[in-house]
Amino acid sequence: MQTGVLVGLIVLAGCDLVYGLHGRTESPSDAVGVDARVFPTMGDVQPGTCWSPTAMPLDEDSDTIADGCDNCPALANADQSDGDRDGVGDVCDPNPSYAVDEIVFFASMRTGSDLLEWTRRGGDWSFGVGLDGTECLRQTGSDPGVALALAMPAAIVGPTIEVQIRAVAPTNGTDADYSSGIRAMTGALADNPDGFGCDNFVLAGPDQLQLHRTAGGKQDEIVTASQPVGTASPYNLRLSTFPIVDGELRPPRCTSFKGTPADVSAPEPTTIELDVPVVPIEARVSMRTFALKADFRSLVIYGSRVGF
């Protein structure tokens, strides 16, 4: 995707404040730190509408719908069902009952050029043939104990990040702390800015999914108990910064499930929620590894049409 197109999409994501035909009018009753908001429950995106203004002829999920016209480009959904008509298919919609979501970025990782404009914060990021025999984004850096990140150039409002990751090998041999994951960064581009991260810790015992918060350029303590998710490589990882539940904004949430996107019919989800204040967020998205080589596939970023 070209820079101008991406920036344009992001601008649209942040400025479309009047989207939606039918909204809830009641205020959240028990949310802490959440202002009264109106979230539309029905949009007006017509079936078959292409979300990308540029042609994306590949079909990542092999459901016969080309990526740029697929309302879930990384998950097979030939019927394109979209109950709230916001343009994001039911099976991948971060908020399927509220017409607030949109696809703002997708990279199949098969073309080798999808992420060339992103900023590299260490690591050896390159496109190549991964362990599954297909093209992917590979982080093969050998820096021990260093977060190796690739960050997108501009911020998105209320991002949900979804990616398929396959951990490959540790790079420091003995450290038990190997991880790969995604992050919504609310600070300036730095090695470890403020924001929320969702990592899967692997190769040192049972895989664990952890949602953590960073602040002041330093990673805080893990703010939720980790949960084992079994052997999960490859696994799909999703970080929703502000999911909407029963009409209220909820804290960030990590979800992970095993298998390829085509296996989503039988996911094994693990959901973790944080008891942290819900605040407006406009964040950059990054992918990262820590002392770990990994293959990344099928990056989807959803933005919010709701003005925070």
Residues that bind Ca ion (CB under 5 A): 59, 61, 63, 65, 70, 72, 77, 82, 84, 86, 88, 93
Q: Write down the least CB distance from residue 239 to Ca ion, Å.
A: 19
Q: Closer CB to Ca ion, residue 86 or residue 199?
A: 86
Q: Write down the least CB distance from residue 101 to Ca ion, Å.
A: 6
Q: Closer CB to Ca ion, residue 158 or residue 170?
A: 158
Which residues, 6 or more positions from 269, have their beta carbon under 8 angstroms from its beta carbon? 255, 256, 257
How far CA 52 is from CA of 16, 83, 227, 240, 286, in Å, comes to 16, 20, 36, 21, 21
Q: Write down the least CB distance from residue 24 to Ca ion, Å.
A: 16
Q: Write down the least CB distance from residue 291 to Ca ion, Å.
A: 34
Q: Could you check whether the bond before residue 234 is cis, i.e. omega within 30 degrees of 0?
A: yes
Q: Closer CB to Ca ion, residue 84 or residue 199?
A: 84
Q: Write down the least CB distance from residue 96 to Ca ion, Å.
A: 6
Which residues lie across from 211 on neighbouring strands? 198
Q: Closer CB to Ca ion, residue 86 or residue 207?
A: 86
Return the biggest CA–CA distance within the chain: 56
At 130, list the tokens.
Answer: 């991964």
Q: Closer CB to Ca ion, residue 88 or residue 167?
A: 88
- The count of residues in the chain is 308
Q: Write down the least CB distance from residue 90 to Ca ion, Å.
A: 6
At 213, list the tokens.
Answer: 């918060």
Distance separating alpha carbons of residues 116 and 120, to the nearest angstrom: 9
Q: Closer CB to Ca ion, residue 93 or residue 162?
A: 93
Give the CA angle between residues 149, 154, 160 to the nearest 5°. Answer: 75
* Alpha helices (runs of H) in the chain, residue ranges in sequence order: 3-15
Q: Write down the least CB distance from residue 86 to Ca ion, Å.
A: 4
Residue 203's Cβ-count burial label (10 Å; 0-12, 13-18, 19+) is: middle
Q: Closer CB to Ca ion, residue 59 or residue 175?
A: 59
Query: 3-state class of 96 per DSSP?
Result: coil
Q: Closer CB to Ca ion, residue 83 or residue 216?
A: 83
Q: Write down the least CB distance from residue 302 to Ca ion, Å.
A: 10
Q: Is the dihedral angle over the CA atoms 195, 95, 260, 206 positive or is it negative?
A: positive
Matching residue, tokens 């016969």 = 64
